[in-house]
Amino acid sequence: MVETPPCRRILVVEDDRSIREGIADALSFHGHAVVQAGRGDAGLDKALHGSCDLVLLDLVLPGADGLTVLRELRRARPTLPVIILTARGDETDRVRGLREGADDYVVKPFSVRELVARVDAVLRRSPERPTDVHRLAIPGGAVDLERREVRFDDGGCEDLSEKEVELLRYLAANSGRVVSREELLSRVWGVPSRRTESRTVDMHMARLRDKLRDAASPSRVVTTVRGKGYRFEIRSP
């Protein structure tokens, strides 16, 4: 007996209406819920503020091009699966898309069968990737990543910088796994890992842990693994 895959919410960002609606019809027929956007800026807004499990992203878009959208998604929602849609001859754009963090690509014109197969393959892999997080329970309080603040049960409150939010989001998304300084420099700061820059990570981490009251808590939010990196210890609810 073949198991029916669960319904997933897929965002299709494509400016060609006939292609976009054809994709939506095909995915709907195979049991997925579909959200559509015809512009890059509109698609980015829906991906950041809506709920979706995967994005199908054209590279040539009005409002904001696909690579710009992809970069912004990787900064804000690093675990959201993205498949780029490209024209047959645009090998350079396909390579750039993969380097920017796309999970896969589909070349136009494509068959419905190929598209659905690639979508299902990426979705099957996605449970192995940590889910994106917006709110975290910590000892004595909670972190609201959208509002960029930490609120404690005793009434205390700490504001977080944008980089502290990105750092905490990435660590929490990889909860239980040791994340190296080199990985944090690459994925949070977007720079090649250099030993001389690892101090940047340590300084941001020290300020973040102060705001989380980590030193005063018997149950640590973030643990330093000597010689390896940092590990977020608390599972998001």
The reported pLDDT for the residue numbered 194 is 54
Number of structural domains in the chain? 2
- State yes or no: pLDDT of 147 exceeds 50: yes
Strand pairing partners for 105?
84
Model confidence over 45-77: pLDDT tens digits?
998 877 788 999 999 999 999 999 998 888 777
Model confidence over 149-162: pLDDT tens digits?
999 999 999 999 88
Residues 155 and 124 in one domain: no
Q: How large is the average pLDDT for residues 192-207? A: 74
- State yes or no: pLDDT of 212 exceeds 60: yes
The reported pLDDT for the residue numbered 126 is 62
- State yes or no: pLDDT of 208 exceeds 70: yes
- State yes or no: pLDDT of 139 exceeds 80: yes
Residues 108 and 150 in one domain: no
Residues 107 and 216 in one domain: no
Residues 105 and 59 in one domain: yes
More confident residue, 121 or 126: 121
Q: Provide the residue range defining the domain that includes 64.
A: 9-128
